[in-house]
Amino acid sequence: MKNPLLNTGELGIFALGGLGEVGKNTYIYEIEDQIFIVDAGILFPDEHLLGIDYVIPDYTYLLENEERIVGLFITHAHEDHIGGIPYLLKKVNIPKIYASGIAVDLIEYKLLEHPDIKPPKIEEYKSHYKYSFKHVELSFIRLNHSIPDMFGFVFRTPQGILFHTGDFKIDFTPVGPAAEYDKLAAIGSEGVLCLLSDSTNAERDELIPSDSKIGKSINELFSRMSGRIIIATFASNMYRIQQIIESSVLNNRKVAVFGRSMERAIEAGMQTGYIKAPKDTIVSGEQVNRVKPNELTILVTGSQGEPLAALSRIANGSHRQIKAMPGDTVIFSSSPIPGNQEGINRTINKLFRLDVEVITHGPLADTHTSGHGAQQDLKLMLSLIRPKMFIPMHGEHRMLKHHKELAMDCGVKEENILIMDNGDVAAITQDSIRLAGKVTAGEVYIDGTGIGDIGSTVIKERKLLSEEGLFSVVLSVNTQTKKLVNEPTIISRGFIYMKGNEEITQSLANEAKKIVVAELGKKLYNELNLKQAVIDHLNQKIFDLTQRRPLVIPIVVDLKST
C-alpha cells in the first residue's frame, strides 16, 4: 500500500518522534514504496507526567504499513535513539535491525530484558559498507559524538542524495576514531538533494570543547584530590568513562563501579575495546572498604539526580556499600538535561549536608562537554554538504527555527527549508519540497509494564489528585424501599483535614443526602444517574465552600434485602 499523501515520483520524509522535542527520535524515509526507519528512541518524562517511566511514539502508521518496512537503521546507541526498540518490536514486525559497534551490544542487552520478544537479526554495519535495496543504496559516514560508533546515513535515491546526520559535533581532536570529513565533502561535491541535521545546540554560538580537553581537565582535578573521588557521568559516555579510568590509573587509584547501567556499559565497552583498564584496576563493591580513600575512584550513575541511581542513594545515606564522608569529593561529569536541574540540585544539597566537596561543570572546572555541535559546527556541516533542501531535526521548535536561520546564512533558499512537527510529511522531488499532510503521530506512555494503557485522561486525574486531593462519599441505599439506609460517610484524602472541618463535611454530607433522596424518589432509578448527580452537585458546592476542585468519587452500596 502506497502512502496516499505522496504523488508518483515523490519520496516522503517524516518523524514519529524527535521534532519539537529532544527525545524519542524515530524518523521515517519512504523511498520507492519502501519504509526505512531511522532510530527508535524514548523520551524521559518531565514532572508533569506523573508516574510515567518513558514516553514512546505512536507506531500506528508503521503497524498499518509493516509489509513495506525494509529495516530499522540505528545511528548510535543513546537511549533517545535505541530505547524504544523493545516496544517497537512488540507492536510491529521489523525484518532486520542495522546497527554498528557498541550499539549492537547495547541493543542485545536491552532485548535480554524483554524475553517475550523474538528479536529480528541484527546486521552489524561498518563505515565502508553499502547496502542495496530497490533503487536505493545506503552508505555510512562516521561522525563524532559523546558515544562511540555514531554514523550519518547517505541514501542514494532516484531523486538524489539524502543525508541524515544523526547526533554529531565537530571534534578535530576526538578521543575515539576521527570523523570522515572527506566523505562529507565528497557527497557535497556530488550534490545533496536534502539534509536532515541535528539541531540540539542550534541556539548556542560558542565553541564546544573537544572531548580530549575534558580528559586533561579531569586528570588535573584528580591530581589535586587527596580523599575518595566519587564521579558521576552518563553510562553511555564510553569516552568519558575511559578518561576517568585513565586518570585514576595515572594517580594510582583503583576504580569501583556502581549502578547497573554503568556496569553494563563498562562490560560492553571492554568487549568492543573502547574501554581498556590494566588488570586489577577495577575492584568489586565488596573490596571498596579495603582500599585507602586516596587510592579510590568510585564511578557512579545518577548525574541527572535520578532518585534510584547510585549517587542519589549515596546522598540519601541509603546506599548499601557506600557511605559519603568528609574528605570525599563528588564530581558531576555531565550537564543537566532540560527538566532535571531540580533533581540534581536536591542531590547536591544533600551531599553538602554530608560535608562533601562537590564539583560541577563550570568556569572553574571543565568536567563535561556537549556531544552536539553548536552554531559553528552546524554551519560547517551545511557548508560541506551544500544541500539543495534542508529539514532541521532533533530539537525543540525554537532550536529548529534557529537551525533554519543558520541554513539560510549558508545559502539554502528559504522556500527549500521545512520546519516540521512529528507526523508532518515532507514530499520531495528533484526540484520541489512540500508539506504533503499528516500521518498519525502522538505520545504513548509506558508505566511499569503497561504500554499505552494510560492516556491523557489518567495523567489529568493524577495531576488533579496531586494538586486538589480526593473527596469520597459512601452512600448506603435500599433500592427496594427507595430509602437512604445510613447517613452518608465522608472520606477526604489530600483535600481537607476532617478533624476541625466537621462543619464543612457535615454540610457536604447533607447536600449528598438531598440528591440521593431526590434520585430515589424518581420513577426510573438508575445508579449511574445518581452518581453523576452527586458528582455534579458536590463539585459546585465544594468549589463554593473551599475554592478547590478535588476528585469527587461517590460509592453507592445497595443494601436491598435478599
Do both 344 and 474 map to the same domain?
no
What span, in angstroms and rounded, lies between the C-alpha atoms of 309 and 340?
14
pLDDT at 531: 87
Set of cell numbers at residue 370: 556537549
pLDDT at 181: 97
Q: Would you place residue 547 in the very low, low, confident or very high pLDDT band (cuts 50, 70, 90)?
A: confident
Residue 27: is its pLDDT beyond 90? yes
Q: Would you place residue 427 in the very low, low, confident or very high pLDDT band (cuts 50, 70, 90)?
A: very high
> Who's near 385: CB < 8 A, 6+ residues apart?
163, 184, 187, 188, 192, 195
Among residues 428, 448, 468, the one where a domain terminates is 448
Grouping H, G, I as helix, E, B as strand and the rest as coil, residue 26 is strand
pLDDT at 67: 96
Do both 58 and 125 map to the same domain?
yes
Q: Are strands 296-300 and 136-143 parallel, antiparallel or unpaired?
A: unpaired
> Who's near 201: CB < 8 A, 6+ residues apart?
169, 208, 370, 372, 373, 374, 375, 377, 378, 399
What span, in angstroms and rounded, lies between the C-alpha atoms of 276 and 339?
34
Q: What is the mean pLDDT of residues 533-543?
A: 86
Q: Would you place residue 171 in the very low, low, confident or very high pLDDT band (cuts 50, 70, 90)?
A: very high
Is residue 25 in a domain? Answer: yes
Among residues 383, 417, 448, the one where a domain terminates is 448
- List 372, 394, 402, 403, catalytic entry: 372
What span, in angstroms and rounded, lies between the C-alpha atoms of 201 and 400?
10
pLDDT at 559: 81
Residue 454: is its pLDDT beyond 70? no
Do both 71 and 149 map to the same domain?
yes
**196-210 pLDDT per residue, tens:** 999 999 999 988 888
Do both 276 and 289 map to the same domain?
yes
Grouping H, G, I as helix, E, B as strand and the rest as coil, residue 556 is strand
pLDDT at 457: 65
pLDDT at 199: 96
Computed over every residue of the chain, the mean pLDDT equals: 89
What span, in angstroms and rounded, lies between the C-alpha atoms of 98 and 464?
44
- List 39, 105, 149, 198, catalytic entry: 198
DSSP string, 318-336: --SS----TT-EEEE-S-P
> Who's near 542: CB < 8 A, 6+ residues apart?
471, 508, 548, 549, 550, 552
What span, in angstroms and rounded, lies between the C-alpha atoms of 111 and 133?
27
**383-402 pLDDT per residue, tens:** 999 999 999 999 999 999 99
Set of cell numbers at residue 76: 548510535
Instruction: Of 244-258, 271-285, 523-537, give the lowest mean pLDDT range.
Output: 523-537
- Among 151-155, 215-219, 329-333, 355-359, the range of highest mean pLDDT: 151-155
Do both 326 and 442 map to the same domain?
no
pLDDT at 47: 58
Residue 451: is its pLDDT beyond 70? no
Do both 45 and 182 map to the same domain?
yes
**84-106 pLDDT per residue, tens:** 999 999 999 999 999 999 999 99
CATH code of the domain containing 311:
3.40.50.10710
Q: Tell me if residue 280 is catalytic.
A: no
Report whether 454 contacts 447 (CB < 8 A): yes
Residue 259: is its pLDDT beyond 80? yes
Q: Would you place residue 534 in the very low, low, confident or very high pLDDT band (cuts 50, 70, 90)?
A: confident
**34-74 pLDDT per residue, tens:** 999 999 999 877 656 556 677 889 999 999 999 999 999 99
Report whether 303 contacts 232 (CB < 8 A): yes
What span, in angstroms and rounded, lies between the C-alpha atoms of 37 and 30?
9
Q: How many domains does the chain have?
A: 3
Q: Tell me if residue 447 is catalytic.
A: no
pLDDT at 522: 82
Closest by Cα among 33, 11, 32, 15 to 24:
15
